[in-house]
């Protein structure tokens, strides 16, 4: 009898220890950073699978110091993306299976850039943009429904309003199949699409204040899906009560700890599954670890993109796009010297400006990385362009370039 009692006590003790262990792990992993730790590895690969070789020495993918210090992050994304080096080497084949995917971050000038893509490219079969319709049909030559551009002004917000990197890489293939009415499965090697991811970044302070002004006027983006890790996060807290945040003051805007405007560019370029998606978002627990993971992932994903531009570097951005894709714009990119954000900065106190900097410290580091990378790509393309002077003049002085070209033909 005593033996049975001892056995029951022993089994009961094991059960109690197991329950306490599960409770402890659940508590420690409340913000899902355990998931990030399991998936973190020092791999030199980018977070998105790329079909290009990393052995090329002349074409840089990212600043060397960053690669050396940051290492790499493992991800489970399995779509075929084309990095800058392959895009430059092999070009963009609009007639075959290549698709440009535009990751549009709010208040970066993406609306203007998106219009350039559908209206200003010199193509044999330009996008068809009917009047009184917001979207254009950017079909491949000799097709009636195959899009070569996945963007707001071509396919619409098929992956959600301002879909981020995590959403796009999970959604774009299925969305294109649905849009084209295709039931085919891209199982054969010759039916796979190649995705050229592109985006535009902006100075974090100007972008943040531009978003603040936009929200102050009534914008919310509350229909965004926030899809991550196979689920939609619909219960994210709002910073405001009612239908919008019209009339909000800057201090109130900044004081909302779960305001997605903070470090928006880093968050939208990172693989959020590496940091537990939106679980425990912006909580103090292990926030430094989460920030480090998101920033590194954002840098890697940016470096693996076929193209990105900077709002403050319109001419350089246009030149890089044209030489990378071998597609020219009929109208040049405009460099706006006066913006609403500049006006807002002039009205801020030094304390407020410093607070904006702190809230966007990750975006600041990301932009510094992007500036270095942009200049590397520009120098490479310039060095390899036998007609650089003509091509550059056409970007910065389009009308003068046209006259010069006309005179040279006489």
Q: Is residue 16 part of a domain?
A: no
* Lowest-confidence region among 10-19, 123-132, 145-154, 221-230: 10-19
* 116-164 residue pLDDT tens: 999 999 999 999 999 989 999 999 999 989 999 999 999 999 999 999 9
Q: Is residue 37 part of a domain?
A: no
Q: What is the pLDDT of residue 14?
A: 73
- Angle, alpha carbons 397-398-404 (nearest 5°): 90
Distance from C-alpha of 320 to C-alpha of 200, rounded to nearest angstrom: 12
Q: Is residue 49 part of a domain?
A: no
- Given a cut of 90, is residue 377 above it in pLDDT? yes
Q: Strand 231-232 and strand 227-228: pairing? A: antiparallel
For residue 219, give Cα distances in angstroms to 107, 211, 244, 393: 12, 9, 7, 39
Q: Is residue 279 part of a domain?
A: yes
Q: What is the pLDDT of residue 43?
A: 32
Across the range 46-70, mean pLDDT stands at 41
162 is catalytic: yes
Across the range 167-187, mean pLDDT stands at 80
Q: Is residue 98 part of a domain?
A: yes
Residue-by-residue DSSP string for 254-281: HH-TT-TTTTHHHHHHS-GGGGTTTTTT
pLDDT band of residue 27 (cuts 50, 70, 90) is very low
Q: Is residue 90 part of a domain?
A: yes
Tokens describing residue 143: 């097709």
Segments forming the whole domain that contains residue 90: 84-397
| CATH code of the domain in which 226 resides | 3.40.50
In a 3-state reduction of DSSP, which class is residue 376?
A: helix
Q: What is the pLDDT of residue 410?
A: 27
* Lowest-confidence region among 38-47, 187-196, 328-337: 38-47
CB 300 within 8 Å of CB 46 = yes
CB 73 within 8 Å of CB 39 = yes
- Neighbour-count burial for 394-407, b at 16+ CB within 10 Å, e otherwise: bbeeeeebeeeeee
Q: What residues contact residue 124 under an 8 Å CB cut-off, 6+ apart?
A: 141
pLDDT above 90 as % of the chain: 64
Q: Which is higher by pLDDT, 273 or 69?
A: 273
- If 0-12 CB within 10 Å is exposed, 13-18 middle and 19+ buried, where does residue 71 land? middle
- Given a cut of 80, is residue 365 above it in pLDDT? yes
CB 241 within 8 Å of CB 269 = no
Q: Give the largest CA-CA distance in the chain.
A: 113
Distance from C-alpha of 153 to C-alpha of 136, rounded to nearest angstrom: 6
Q: What is the mean pLDDT of the chain?
A: 83
Max avg pLDDT among 63-72, 198-207, 218-227, 234-243 = 198-207
Q: Which is higher by pLDDT, 32 or 174?
A: 174
Q: What is the pLDDT of residue 210?
A: 95
147 pairs with which residues across the strands? 139
CB 372 within 8 Å of CB 63 = yes
- If 0-12 CB within 10 Å is exposed, 13-18 middle and 19+ buried, where does residue 340 land? middle
Distance from C-alpha of 353 to C-alpha of 25, rounded to nearest angstrom: 40
* 267-313 residue pLDDT tens: 999 999 999 999 866 565 688 999 999 999 999 999 999 999 999 99
Start-to-end Cα distance in the chain: 113
Across the range 203-213, mean pLDDT stands at 96
Q: Is residue 39 part of a domain?
A: no
Mutual angle of helices 388-396 and 398-409, in 10-degree steps: 130
- Given a cut of 80, is residue 50 above it in pLDDT? no
* 94-118 residue pLDDT tens: 999 999 999 999 999 999 999 999 9
Closest CA to 72 of 104, 97, 39, 105: 39
197 pairs with which residues across the strands? 101
Q: What is the pLDDT of residue 73?
A: 56
Closest CA to 167 of 74, 111, 101, 213: 101
Q: Which is higher by pLDDT, 369 or 132?
A: 369
* Lowest-confidence region among 4-8, 228-232, 330-334: 4-8
Q: Of these residues, 116, 162, 206, 262, which one is catalytic?
A: 162
Distance from C-alpha of 237 to C-alpha of 234, rounded to nearest angstrom: 9
Q: Which is higher by pLDDT, 141 or 68?
A: 141
Q: Strand 194-201 and strand 98-103: pairing? A: parallel
Tokens describing residue 181: 């009415």
Total domain count for the chain? 1
Q: Is residue 215 part of a domain?
A: yes
């Amino acid at each position: 009898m005593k033996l049975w009692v001892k056995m029951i006590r022993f089994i009961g003790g094991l059960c109690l220890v197991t329950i306490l262990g599960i409770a402890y792990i659940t508590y420690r992993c409340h913000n899902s950073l355990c998931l990030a730790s399991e998936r973190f590895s020092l791999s030199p690969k980018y977070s998105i699978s790329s079909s290009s070789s990393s052995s090329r020495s002349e074409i840089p993918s990212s600043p060397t110091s960053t690669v050396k210090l940051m290492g790499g992050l493992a991800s489970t994304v399995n779509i075929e993306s084309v990095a800058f080096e392959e895009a430059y080497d092999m070009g963009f084949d609009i007639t075959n299976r290549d698709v440009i995917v535009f990751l549009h971050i709010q208040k970066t000038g993406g609306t203007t850039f998106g219009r350039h893509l559908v209206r200003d490219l010199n193509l044999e079969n330009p996008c068809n943009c009917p009047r009184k319709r917001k979207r254009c049909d950017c079909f491949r030559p000799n097709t009636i429904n195959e899009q070569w551009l996945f963007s707001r002004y071509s396919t619409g917000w098929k992956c959600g309003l301002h879909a981020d990197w995590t959403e796009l890489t999970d959604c774009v293939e299925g969305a294109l199949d649905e849009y084209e009415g295709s039931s085919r499965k891209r199982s054969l090697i010759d039916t796979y699409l190649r995705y050229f991811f592109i985006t535009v970044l902006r100075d974090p302070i100007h972008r943040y204040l531009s978003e603040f002004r936009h929200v102050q006027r009534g914008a919310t983006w509350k229909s965004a899906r926030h899809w991550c890790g196979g689920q939609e996060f619909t219960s994210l807290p709002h910073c405001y009560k009612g239908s919008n945040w019209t009339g909000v003051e800057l201090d109130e805007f900044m004081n909302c700890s779960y305001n997605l405007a903070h470090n928006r560019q880093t968050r939208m370029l990172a693989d959020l599954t590496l940091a537990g998606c939106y679980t425990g978002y912006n909580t103090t627990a292990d926030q430094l670890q989460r920030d480090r993971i998101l920033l590194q992932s954002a840098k890697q994903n940016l470096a693996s993109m076929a193209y990105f531009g900077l709002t403050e570097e319109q001419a350089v951005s246009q030149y890089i796009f044209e030489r990378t894709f071998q597609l020219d714009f009929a109208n040049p990119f405009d460099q706006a010297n006066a913006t609403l954000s500049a006006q807002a900065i002039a009205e801020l106190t030094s304390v407020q400006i410093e607070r904006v900097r702190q809230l966007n410290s990750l975006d600041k580091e990301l932009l510094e990385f992007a500036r270095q990378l942009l200049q590397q790509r520009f120098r490479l393309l310039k060095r390899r362009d036998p007609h650089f002077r003509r091509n550059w003049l056409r970007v910065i002085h389009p009308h003068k370039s046209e006259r010069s070209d006309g005179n040279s033909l006489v």
